[in-house]
Structures are given as C-alpha cells and as structure tokens.
Amino acid sequence: MERKRTHDGSGGIAVHTGRGQGVEMDAGAVRARQQPSGLCRCFQHLAERADTGRVCAIRFGVLQPLQAAGQGTDKMAKRGAKKGGCGKMENNEPQGLTEANRRTALELIAQAQRREKAVKGSGGKKDGKQKLSLVCLENVEEEEVSWLYCPYVPRGKLTLCAAYPGTGKTYLLCYMAACVSTGRSFFNLIPFGNEPEKVIYLTAEDGIGDTIKKRLRICGADMKNIYTVTENKSQLLFNSPEIEEYMKDAKPALMIFDPFQAYIGSDVDMNAPNKTREQMGHIVELAQKYDVAVVIICHFNKNGKGDAITRILGSTDIMGSCRSYIALGNVPGEDDTKFMSHEKSSLEKKGKTILFEIDPDRGGIVYMGENLLSMDDYTAIRNKRRAKAAPAIEGAKEFLVNNMPEGRRLAQELMNLAKANRISDASLQRAKQELGIISQKTNSFPSRAIWVLPGHEEREPETKQEELSL
C-alpha cells in the first residue's frame, strides 16, 4: 500500500499489519490532525485497526518498518519514503522532523512496540489479549513493602499530595527532595536507606532557577543528586517515552510531578475513569518496575465542598491508583502554621498529622509538632469558627452603620466606641471589610484617618488656574 498523492502534493498515511492487511488515511484527514495530540489519536486509531500494530510508513517520517514481517511490508515502507520525500530513521529515531512531530513519532513507536509485545504474548491472537489463568495463592510469594518515608511515602507506588494554592505544597516537596538527596530525615522520619539518593523533580508551573532551585538550596539539598527538565517542559506526559528513560538512566528514589494535571494530557478528560485509568496505569507500572516513589501534586476543586477524598480534582480512579495520600492546609486561627495530614494509607497504618511552618531563615521547613486531627477536622473547626463569628460580625456591621449617619467618621472615634460596646477589633475589621468601608486621610495636620461608607466619598476640588489681568 503506498501513500496517496493529492492535488496539493501532500501525502496521506499508510499503516500495514504485515499480514497483507492495511489501513489508509487521506491527506485531508492528516491536515485536520496537525496537533501532536490529534496525531496521537489518529495513529493510535490506525494502529488499533492494524491487528499487530506494525506501523510501516507514516506521514511524518517514520518510514522504516517498526516490526517488519515479510518483504512486502519492507518494500512498501521504502516506496512510501521515496515518494513522500520525508526523513529517515537513524539510531531508532526519526530524522528531519520538528520537535513536536519527533516526540509524537517516538510515542507511536513505543505504542506499536508495546502492542507487538502483547500480541506475541497472546500467541498471535487478533484481539491482542493474553490468555488468563487462575493461580493458586499457595504458589504466590509474599513481598514486603519498601518505604522512602514510612508510612507516608512508599517506594514503587504512587503518593498523592493535594492542597489549595498557596498552602506550601511545592515548598514541602522541595524539602522532601532535599532530604532524599542528602539522606537525612524528613521531619522526624528516618529514611530506610539513610543514604543520599537521586531525585527527579518535574514541574510545569514554577520556574526552575528562580523558584525550585532556590527553595531546594534553602532546604539544604545536594544539587548533584537532583535532576529536572528545563526546556519544552509542557510536552512531557505520563506516557511519554522519556519518563521511562529518565527512571532507567538516573535511577531515582523519588520522582515528583508538579502538578498532576499538566502530565495527564490536555485531551484527556480527568473526570472520565476510562481515560484517566490508562494514564495512571502506565505511571504505576513504571514506579513498580524501577522501584521509584512517585509523588504527584494535585489541586483541590474550587467549590471547597466534600471531604478530603472527594475534593480531589478529576475521577476517583486518580485516588484509587495512589497507595498514599497526604493533604496540606493552614491551621485555623494560626496564620503561619500549616498541617500535613495523612488521609489515605493502603499499605500501613496512617501516620500522624505533622505541623510545620515555612521560614527561609530557618532552613525552609520548620517542624512544629504532631497531632491526630485530620483535614476534615480542621475544616469543621474553621467552619465552626466562622459560624460562631457570624452574629458578632453582623452586630458590628449594624454598629458601624448606626454610628456613621453622615457616611463618614474618624476611625479612632469608631474604634473607641466599639471597644465601649464590647465589639472586638477582629469583628470590627471584618465588618468594615464586608461593608466596603474605605479609609481616607484628613487634610489637616497632623492628618487623621477617616472611615467612609461606599457612596460618601468626597471628590478632590478641582484646581482652578488663576487668571492674570493683562
């Protein structure tokens, strides 16, 4: 099967199974899928229709057969290459492509090789499914769980770290990476290996030089043991072949994805279990294969409803793929203290909630103690505080309106009156904020603060130019 020619000279796609069967797509369909994500779906669809996944010639330069079977297949690929005028394969990589299309081609090669492996394992069955057989548990050997930091971060498994923006999750993960790189304790948790190990920190949000490396330095990291990607960061996905290459080459003990949403793919619906399951399954397999503790950082949903589990963005399959889940938040009533609660532990008894502060002058993360409160406990405490404060705030709002008949009054007078009426400063300030009261300065010397209700602001008098008689 050869590539089709169109009137504008662009080519189509030829995919052959090596069994005399082929699938073809015209050039118009190719042009409609120029984006890498669209190309992946396009070729994935074609490869699925080709029962062994042997892709022999494609539009963007993968011209030699991936798993050639038969002379006809090999000749077809060469014929397509000659007519198409595309690049060629060198060192098992397509040449003469743009970076985006090169990455797409590599992913397609990896997919085709996995499909070929599955077909061989199934004895050549067309559906590609392996024969399933029962195994007696007496013949299954028990395995001990290995830990990076017990019971919060297991090796060879996925750990989820979730929080709202601004609660210090990136700083905390930089601290964890620094601990692994130097072989020291994470808070009061002694590492099992107690030796410096490698870390891969992948981030699609923060700058490497101005944020990640700076925080790692503050936390005392050994930079020689930490790796990252600085260019084309947005192109990496969980199923990108580079991810396995990084694990194989660097042999890290810890690999961090920050945030999770950036690596699942923009064309994947996070709320669809069948879509997220494939992506999560791939990274789970890699973590187990290379004995890497994989930590994925995730955001909570914006509505703030639900418990610690259901607040996670996306499908429940995301949570189901993780063996451990830690949640971060601010301790109610304490501006600087944060908590790290252990919300899920499938391999060991849940750990205690750890309290900490972020202070660059004291090593970045400062241990403040432990307790047994969960994230839901802290949420209940916060809601109770708000409900308890609501009547006091409403009373303070009524006080302000009644004592500002002209819509404005000296701030100090209002504070003195509020104190005489046993209204706390916190309730007064909260009422001021909710009423939209603004502060202005008097023109007198020394100037004094005036609180002004909305709609009672005074405009500055316009300056008039003095007229001189000539």
Domains of the chain: 13-121 (no CATH), 147-373 (3.40.50.300), 380-452 (1.10.10)
More confident residue, 246 or 382: 246
Weakest mean pLDDT among 237-246, 295-304, 453-462: 453-462
pTM for the complete prediction? 0.59
Mean pLDDT value across the chain: 74
pLDDT band per the 50, 70, 90 thresholds, residue 321:
confident
pLDDT score of 64 more than 60: no
| Average pLDDT of the segment spanning 130-155 | 89
Residue 247 pLDDT: 94
**Helices 425-435 and 411-420 meet at what angle, rounded to 10?**
130
Digit-coded pLDDT (tens) for 30-45: 333 334 444 444 444 4
What's the residue count for the chain? 470
pLDDT score of 348 more than 80: yes
pLDDT band per the 50, 70, 90 thresholds, residue 164:
confident
| Average pLDDT of the segment spanning 94-114 | 67
**Helices 411-420 and 375-402 meet at what angle, rounded to 10?**
110
More confident residue, 92 or 264: 264
99: phi then psi, degrees, rounded to nearest 5: -60, -45
pLDDT band per the 50, 70, 90 thresholds, residue 74:
very low
Residue 183 pLDDT: 92
Q: Can you read off the two tokens belonging to residue 58?
A: 């494609």
Residue 238 pLDDT: 85
| Average pLDDT of the segment spanning 205-228 | 93
Cα-based distances in Å from 314 to 48, 190, 282, 317, 337 = 27, 33, 17, 8, 28
C-alpha span between 165 and 161 (Å, rounded): 12
More confident residue, 456 or 181: 181
Strongest mean pLDDT among 86-95, 293-302, 333-342:
333-342
Q: Can you read off the two tokens belonging to residue 371?
A: 């307790």
Amino acid found at 462 = E
Where do the DSSP E strands lie in 334-433? 338-345, 353-359, 364-371, 408-410
Cα-based distances in Å from 175 to 165, 356, 401 = 17, 12, 49
